[in-house]
Amino acid sequence: MKDFSLELNNGILGLIGPNGAGKSTLMRILATISRPSEGKVRLNGTDIVKSPDAVRKVLGYLPQDFDIYPNLTAIEFLTYIAAIKGLTGKGTKNRIEALLEELNLTAVRNRPVGTYSGGMKQRIGIAQVLIGDPKLLILDEPTVGLDPEERVRFRNLLTDLSGERIVILSSHIVSDIETIANNIAIIYQGRVLKHNFPDAMLNAVVNQVYEATVSEEELEGFRNKYLVISVMKRADAWVARFVLNPGDQAPTVPVRSVKGTLEDSYLYEIISAKRGGQHDA
């Protein structure tokens, strides 16, 4: 990562970017699992590379792949994780019960977690992160494996938690980021392409997103001339969704203006960066 700078306050930061952009690397550095080769990371003024415990004592971290103990029940697993964090007693037991309820796991609380589905295991991972009331949450692709109803439940839980915490969330599901993030960072090849509020991200493509219907023979030339975000096959033609930048020559085929989305803005930034030939140092 190079020329990378972010300043965060309480709330939810959504990280989006293609595979290999550096999202997981950034999260491992912030969680003090990896060390940066250069630069500084500070929490309330404390250099966390020199003083990693400053983060670890307030951290809840969920990596993409986390370990479970398959023979333990949910209650046993979460009690074990709490003990590692130095948390015991009735208050901890009540917290575990509340988390199981919030994450819809009460009915399977006494089943070995090794028998859980992928989505249920992901929810157990989220529960273990939240034990101890951490003030910094780092969640790497937490909605992977969750069905739409579970994703909504999780988004609501994070929104409730975010008022007095810093939450850093990465996801390939742009709608999850759009729904709950207070601000968003688009990452590409170890750089921040854009860091702003969701509304500002949308304003970047307001009145610039269009759809055009083109033949298969016209499609390749259209892609070469315009910044095409997506294409869909319709009967004997293609519908190309594209961004018309100021100064671009208007297409000769009929077009219609459509409402821009956060995904349009994200893809616009990524495709523009690729066309600009940005590379890692």
Radius of gyration over every alpha carbon of the chain, rounded to an integer in angstroms = 22
pLDDT of residue 209: 96
Q: Decide: 138 and 30 in contact? Cβ < 8 Å.
A: yes
Q: pLDDT grade, residue 31 (50/70/90)?
A: very high
**Amino acid identity, residue 214?**
V
Residues 43, 45, 50, 51: what is their CA dihedral angle, to the nearest 10 degrees? -60
More confident residue, 46 or 66: 46
Report how far Cα 173 is from the mean position of its chain's Cα atoms.
7
pLDDT of residue 144: 81
What is the residue-averaged pLDDT of the chain? Answer: 89
Decide if pLDDT at 281 tops 60: no
Decide if pLDDT at 278 tops 50: no
SS3 73: strand
The whole-model pTM stands at 0.84
Fold (topology level) of 11-197 = Rossmann fold (3.40.50)
Mean pLDDT of 238-256: 91
pLDDT tens per residue, range 136-188: 999 998 888 788 888 888 888 888 878 788 999 998 788 888 888 999 999 99
Q: How far apart are CA 61 and CA 139, in angstroms?
A: 6
